Amino acid sequence: MKIHAAKTITKGRVLFTAVLLALSAVPAMAQDAFPNHTLSMIVPFPPGGVADTTARPTAAIMEKYLKQPVAVVNRPGAGGAVGNAAVANAKPDGYTMGMVLSSISVIPAADELFNRKPAYSLDQFAPIALISADPTILVVHPSLPVKTLKELVALANSKPGQMSYSSSGIYGALHMPMEMFLHATKLKMRHVPTTGGGPAITAVLGGHVELTAGGPAAIHGHVKAEKLRPIVSWGATRHPAYPDVPTFKELGYKDVEYFIWAGLVGPKGMPEAVLKTLRDAARKTAEDPEFKNAMAKVNSPVQYMDAPEFKKYWDADAKRLAGLVKIVGKVDSK
């Protein structure tokens, strides 16, 4: 009886091992051929936004190098939290990537501030490549009698807490740089959050607030028409489309640097070979002239970084933003 049972176990074990082997063989084969079916690139924002207009050409050109279609999937919601969480919790087989924006680092920090159950944490991601990084540019309504940062700071100092700026929402991509600026200059201003980058600029155009931080692409037409006056940029170097606009760094504000970046990430735990395939495809994409051309059209020059570099950059950025969120704190506790 016992022997019989043992035999059955052995038999079962053999069968089990065989099944295991067969099962493990499937992914192994799939890995060899990665990718062998459609990949998806999650965009945590609605169509037409920065993430979307970066993801579309990236996906289109990556198809060329991955030899498989790459479908862009918009998963908007909660300022990007929904889509970011979808990437974080995807199966790490390399078939799901995400085109995420720098706001990815702010959301967990804000969740912590409000004691919320975090939608995801940053260590759930594996960076693949940085695609672009645009500095924001400080613009004022042309009726404001300032042309330089010095004049702006002097004016704001002369009436503390009287001037107001618009943003894309609290802790949003356009709020963070303004807080950085105000913190560095110890200025006080009124904050008027709006529902996005477009409305924030509209508020300045209508003269309802005096200034805002704007994305270089979004403000370009208005600056050209002299309806907005650029004062200073948050970039590390001057932006090619605005050669006359100095950076905070040039003007002596060492720590005031801010980019809205877009990067390709995947869920953590992708097999090394898969990650390498994706990194290679991303690199070739970034070097592709067709891609560079598409990105130049949306006024968002390619800023490629490979995974290790990108990781370092992201970590530093996340740390700075998390610190900033703490400084801003909850509105009511001020």
Interface with another protein by CB under 8 A: which residues?
Answer: 40, 46-49, 52-53, 56-57, 71-79, 81-82, 85, 110, 113-114, 116-117, 119, 161-162, 164, 169-172, 190-196, 198-199, 201-203, 205-209, 217, 220-225, 227, 294, 296-299, 330-332
Backbone angles phi, psi at 196, to 5 degrees: 170, 180
Distance in angstroms (rounded) separating the CA atoms of residues 117 and 287: 40
Report the Cα 135 to chain-centroid distance in Å: 12
Q: How far is the CB of 288 from another protein (least distance, A)?
A: 16
Q: How far is the CB of 105 from another protein (least distance, A)?
A: 15
Distance in angstroms (rounded) separating the CA atoms of residues 149 and 318: 27
CA atoms within 13 A on the CB side of 185: 23
To 10 degrees, the CA torsion angle through 94, 100, 105, 111? -90
Distance in angstroms (rounded) separating the CA atoms of residues 106 and 58: 24
Whichever of 54 and 277 has its CB closer to another protein, that residue is 54
Q: How far is the CB of 169 from another protein (least distance, A)?
A: 4
Q: How far is the CB of 281 from another protein (least distance, A)?
A: 20
Which token pair is 199? 């409305």
Q: How far is the CB of 150 from another protein (least distance, A)?
A: 25
Q: How many residues are recorded in the chain?
A: 334
Whichever of 6 and 19 has its CB closer to another protein, that residue is 19
Cis peptide before 35 (omega within 30 of 0): yes
Whichever of 135 and 172 has its CB closer to another protein, that residue is 172
Q: How far is the CB of 20 from another protein (least distance, A)?
A: 19
Distance in angstroms (rounded) separating the CA atoms of residues 37 and 58: 18
Whichever of 150 and 224 has its CB closer to another protein, that residue is 224
Cis peptide before 177 (omega within 30 of 0): no
Q: How far is the CB of 133 from another protein (least distance, A)?
A: 18
Whichever of 201 and 265 has its CB closer to another protein, that residue is 201
Q: How far is the CB of 162 from another protein (least distance, A)?
A: 8
Whichever of 13 and 224 has its CB closer to another protein, that residue is 224
Distance in angstroms (rounded) separating the CA atoms of residues 231 and 223: 11
Closest Cα partner for 287 from 102, 135, 129?
Answer: 129
Whichever of 206 and 240 has its CB closer to another protein, that residue is 206
Using only the alpha carbons of the chain, give its radius of gyration: 24
Alpha-carbon separation of residue 233 from 62, 68, 163 (angstroms): 31, 39, 20
Whichever of 193 and 271 has its CB closer to another protein, that residue is 193
